[in-house]
Amino acid sequence: MRFGFHISISGGFSKVVEKAKIRSCETIQFFSRNPRGWKYRPLDNNDVETFHTSLQSSGLFPLFLHLPYLPNVASKESKFYSRSIDSIVTDLERAEQLGASYLIIHIGHRMESSENEAIEAVAQAINQAFDRARNSIILLLENTAGQGTEIGYEFSQIKKIIEGVEEKERIGICLDIAHAFEAGYDLSNKDGIERTLESFDQVIGLKRLHLLHLNDSKTPLGSRKDRHWHIGEGYIGLEGFRWLVNHPLLKHLPGIMETPRKDTVEDLKNMKVIRNLVG
Residues with catalytic roles: 36, 66, 69, 106, 142, 176, 179, 213, 226, 228, 258
CA gyration radius, the chain: 18
217 backbone dihedrals φ, ψ, rounded to 5°:
-115, 130
Residue 112's nearest CA partner among 83, 79, 155 is 79
Residue type, 142: E
Residue type, 254: P
Residue type, 266: E
Using an 8 Å Cβ cutoff, are 2 and 15 in contact? no
